[in-house]
Amino acid sequence: MPPRLRYFYVMLTVGLLLIPAAEIYRELSMRPDIWWTPKPMALSPAAAQDRVEIYVRGKPLGALIDGKQLWITDDTGRSAIGAQDIGLRLNNWDRVRVARLPMLLAYAASCGAGFVMLLLIGSGRLAYREERGSAR
C-alpha cells in the first residue's frame, strides 16, 4: 500500500475512532448525582409508594400522617404534619445506567475494532500482494 494511501486510512480510522471514544468519555465523566428528581417535582408519599416505603419507629409514614401522630415545632408553634408537607426526591441513576449500558457496550466494541484496524493499517499488514503464480 502506498504511504499516502496508508496515511489516509490511518487518519480516517483515527477520525472514526474519536466518535465512540468521545461518547465513552462523556458517559464515564458524567456526574452521577444529576439524576435526582428536581425539588419542585418532589413526589408525595402516595405517588412514590411503588418505589419507596418509609417507616418511622417501625410504623408506616402514611399511617402516622393519617393518624396525625407526627408533629413539628417551629417559631409559630406546634402543628401536625400532613401529606402535603412531605416531598420525596428519588434517585433514578440506577435506571438510567441500566438503560445506557447496551449503547456503552456498543461504543466499547467500536473502539476495540477501531484500534485493531488502526494497528493493522498502521503496521502495513493489510498491504495488497500480487499473486505469484497460477494455482493448479
Tell me: do 97 and 32 sit in the same domain. yes
In this structure, the answer to whether residues 82 and 42 fall within a common structural domain is: yes
Q: Are residues 76 and 58 in the same domain?
A: yes
Q: Is the pLDDT of residue 67 over 60?
A: yes
Global pTM? 0.54
pLDDT at 124 over 60: yes
DSSP string, the chain: --HHHHHHHHHHHHHHHHHHHHHHHHHHTS-GGGGBPPGGGPBPTTTTTTT---EETTEEHHHHHHTT--EEEETTEEEE--GGG--B--B-HHHHHHHHHHHHHHHHHHHHHHHHHHHHHHHTTT------S---
Number of domains comprising the chain: 2
- What residue numbers bound the domain in which 103 lies? 1-36+92-136
User: In the predicted model, is pLDDT for residue 120 greater than 70?
Assistant: yes
